Structure 1
Amino acid sequence: MALAIATNTGALMAAASATSVNKDMETSMERLSTGKRINSAKDDAAGVAIASRLSSEIRGTNQAIRNAQDGQALINTAEGAHKEIENILQRMRELAVQSSNDTNDGTDRTNLQAEMDQLVEEIDRISSVTTWAGQSLLNGAAAGAGTAQFNFQIGGNTGDGDRILVEIDAMSSKALAVSGAGTPPAFTNDTFSGDASGSVTIDDDAGTITFASTEASGAFASGATFTADINGTTVKITVVDNDSFTDDEAGVAAQFAAEIAKKDELRDISVSAAAGVLTLKIGGGLDIGSTSTTSSRDTAINAIDAAIEKLNTQRANLGAVANRLDNTVSNLTNVAINLEGGKGRIEDADFAAESTSLAKSQILQQASTAMLAQANASKQNVLSLLQG
């Protein structure tokens, strides 16, 4: 081989080796310092994509676990209120049974009715104030009626299996059909015009509206109007005679009752009709007071039994969902652990392997540096030829 200094092949090879070894050493040091085998896409292009998908699943699953636990807390809150309402219903049934005994006189039954009415109000209070994070649980889809629906997201995706639908029926006294003896609404601004042969009379204390005609047929003139404000809501009819309503006393009363039923603001008012007389009550159904009869007291007991059965069915359904969520949380926890393990095998650094690689790189770096120095020193022999 020719003795030359323009091209120091040995030095170039030693420098290239040092560069390569230095790169390997930096990679090992990065992995050891971060604990990750994949620190950028160039480390493992496919692994980056897989690890990203697994991260989405893991984070979604962990959030689903928290969702399920929050769902359990919501159900437990509702179920606790159900339990207290059941205690109230049991006491109400006890009062109804007590009132059915004729050892009680009118005063005794009045006192029993007073407690019954207070218990009914407490059911409504519990139903209206039982909430979870501001959401009403026992008030239903509408005020005091209907069913509230809650979707619990118990998976990280969008399929049907990732959600549980929980329905909680309203537990107000109206929804349970135990609204007490009832009280009349407030009547104001009542006017009747267009029919001199008829009249409309309102009894505020009894809560009745009586439609009366002086005609032998009992008819009102078509086109006559009647308007009244009931609890601040205006209800108005124009007397008609068609397929739906007649223009006699009973038909006009039925027309007015139908108009009341259209008003959402009056949904808590019950209306009963008899021979042209409407009786309006807020609440109604549990009459065990001084004017009650054996039949009305029996009706009260039966109504409370039905309410307790409805309540227990609801509690059983909620308990079943709560138990289901226990299994859901356990399964999701196992899934999250296994997903974490799979992700770790893809992107976590093997400290034993990387430590070995680092030690190897450090030794090779020292060796290549030494050889580079030797290669540079070897060209000094040319000087001896030049010195002569």
Structure 2
Amino acid sequence: MRINHNIQSINTYRQLNLTQASVSKSLEKLSSGLRINQAADDAAGLAISKKMQAQVRGLNQAERNMLDGISLTQTADGGLAGIQDMVQRMRELALQASNGTLTTEDRRAIQKELEQLKKGINEIANNTDFNGIRPLTQEVTTPFLPGANAAMVDIVFFIDYSGSMLGANRLDAVIQGISGFVDGLTKKSLNANIAVVNITTQNPYYKPFSENALVIKNNVETLNTATSLTKPYENINKTVPEGEIGQKLGYRSGSEKIFVLFTDVDNESGSGSEGDTAVLLEGTNDILGYDEDDIQTYVFSFGSLADTAFDQLTDTTGGKLYKSDEISTADDVKNKLQNDLTDDIENNSGGGISSEAQKGILYLQVGANQSDEMEIRLTNATTAGLGIHGVSVDTHEDAQLAIMQLDVAIEKVSMERSKYGAYQNALKYLHTNVTNAAENATSSESRITDANMAFEMTEFTKRNILMQSGQAMFAQSNQLPQGILELLKS
């Protein structure tokens, strides 16, 4: 028997401390409901669970993002529904104006209602808003059409309707080449609208922008109202965006502006000069050579005298002069339109996706990871975007053209509404998938981090009993040295 060291007491004390630590750990798990309360509890499990937790929280946020996206597409669809009704009414009026029983005054009355409907369409497009985003004023075409998200190019054809242009079938060659020209621009990722201006009239006559080749061809054909005065410079000056004609054509915001002149004249019958017009089209108003702000000008010269009349205009703006010997036949004209001109416009405009077009694209974060995005392409549902900015029913011919333009607009609005409906359905399916993924990830995280309360309660009860017995045995072990006193007494 020893006095200095009570080994039994020391052993009991050690066991009691271990039991107390176990009881403390059980109390921590029972009070928090978590199996892992600190890194030491399960280092590997903690790392895995935190990664899963980030995934779960990301999926939950993606779920809310998609609900916001659905709300945006519903807002856009609601605005387009109103616009569609107004375009349908405009077509109805155009059909009415086409009737030969109407007088000029009757058509003027119809035109007044058309103008109000145009204003109403622009009001809806400009005021349809979701959290500061206006989905119906954006410059991105539908992804279901060729050329989606392409660089925007607004092209104006200046047509010389003088006798020599008509007599040599040069105008017919231009008309025949328009479809190939429009297709060529689309294939080169250029989102092109084309307007037409007659440079051979006493009072300038024009047709607004359209992206439809049939409408453009019809515009060129119906503008054949020539007089003896050919005024290329004067009409070009009036067709810049801030000009008398330019304000009516419906240029798109942020688009590349390009002029194409078809003529065989070598002089100006009206006011203006090549130098003054070159300065106007040169972006810096300082003739130092082509820069990206210029309105690029291309000239199809059908006469030898015109071959040198417009070189300053094309050189200054970065365009090109197609000389008479290059376009001597109808096939030459069509080839230059469909191939050379489309290549030149692509090269000078940069082609591809424009920064302005990018503004019309929204990316919804629909998953928990960096690349989990869904692209939403917005719409330009203004009258300019629908190609009905200049719709007129002043004459029977205008009313017939208006019907064609409005048919195109109705088809475009219908496709845009279909697009937004497809977006909504896709987002709903993605939402279902994300909620399911979040549930499964939460279940996996729970198995790692959550405490099994029944098991922990059993462990706590066992350890609590051990602690109480340990305390009793500790007291007993401390009494063992008392036996030495009995020996000393004897």
TM normalised by structure 1 equals 0.69
Displacement of 1:357 = 0.5
CA distance in structure 2 between the partners assigned to 1:139 and 1:51 by the alignment: 45
Q: For structure 1, which segment, 96-105 or 367-376, has the greater mean C-alpha deviation from structure 2 after superposition?
A: 96-105
- 1:14-93 matches, within 5 Å, as 14-93=12-91
Contact preservation (8 Å) 1:31, 1:349: yes
> 3-state DSSP class of the match of 1:165?
strand
Q: Distance in 1 between matches of 2:79 and 2:366?
A: 24
* Deviation per residue, 1:268-296 (Å, 9 max, x gap): xxxxxxxxxxxxxxxxx3222xxx22211
Amino acid at match of 1:155: G
Q: Residues of 2 paired with 1:109 and 1:371: CA distance? A: 111
Distance in 2, matches of 1:328 and 1:293, equals 52
Q: Report whether the alignment pairs 1:174 with 2:172.
A: no
Q: How far apart are the structure 1 equivalents of 2:419 and 2:363?
A: 15
Q: Is the 8 A contact 2:34 2:450 kept in 1?
A: yes
Asked if structure 2 preserves the Cα contact closer than 8 Å seen for 1:154 and 1:328, the reply is yes
Alignment of 1:206-285 (within 5 A): 285=390
Task: Work out whether residues 97 and 396 of structure 2, in 8 Å CA contact, stay in contact via their aligned partners in 1.
Answer: no
Q: Is the 8 A contact 1:140 1:147 kept in 2?
A: yes
C-alpha deviation, 1:108, in angstroms: 2.2
Conserved? CA contact 1:147–1:167, under 8 Å: no
Which structure has the bigger radius of gyration? 1
Residues 95 and 112 of structure 1 are in contact (CA less than 8 Å); yes or no, is this contact kept in structure 2? yes
Q: Percent identity?
A: 36
Match of 1:252?
none
The normalised TM-score by structure 2 is 0.55
- Return the match for 1:325 from 415, 424, 427: 427
Find the partner of 2:124 among 123, 126, 139.
Answer: 126
Deviation at 1:105, TM superposition (A): 2.3
1:360-375 equivalences under 5 Å are 360-375=462-477
Asked if the contact 2:98–2:396 (Cα under 8 Å) also holds between the matched residues in 1, the reply is yes
Shift of 1:147: 7.3
Read off the aligned partner of 2:36 and give its amino acid letter.
I
1:136 positional shift: 1.6
Q: 1:334 to 1:300 in 2, by over 3 A?
A: same
Query: In the aligned structure 2, how far is the partner of 1:5 from the partner of 1:103?
Result: 131
Give the whole-Å Cα distance in 2 for the aligned partners of 1:145 and 1:163.
18
Residue 173 (structure 2) aligns with: none
> Deviation of residue 107 (structure 1)?
2.5
1:85-144 per-residue CA deviation (whole Å, 9 max, x = no partner) reads: 0000011111111122233323322221111100001111111111211112111149x9
| CA distance in 1: counterparts of 2:437 and 2:2, whole angstroms | 68
Q: 1:351 aligns with which of 422, 433, 453?
A: 453
Q: Which runs of 5+ in 2 are unaligned?
A: 140-353
Q: For structure 1, list consecutive stretches of 5 or more residues without a partner in the other structure.
A: 180-284
What SS does the aligned partner of 1:169 have?
coil
Quote how far apart the aligned CAs of 1:321 are: 1.3
**Alpha carbons of 1:62 and 1:380: their partners in 2 closer, same or farther (altered >3 Å)?**
same
Whether the 8 Å CA contact 1:128–1:139 is kept in 2: the answer is yes
Structure 1 residue 339: Cα displacement: 0.4
1:286 correspondence with 2:399: no
The alpha-carbon distance between structure 1 residues 147 and 34, as it changes in their structure 2 partners (threshold 3 A), is closer
RMSD: 1.7
1:165 aligns with 2:375: yes
Q: Which amino acid is 2:430 matched to?
A: T
Amino acid at match of 2:473: M
Amino acid in the other structure paired with 2:7:
T
CA distance 1:355–1:145, change in 2 (3 Å): closer
- Could you tell me how far 1:64 is from its partner in structure 2? 0.8
For 1:8, the equivalent position in structure 2 comes to 6
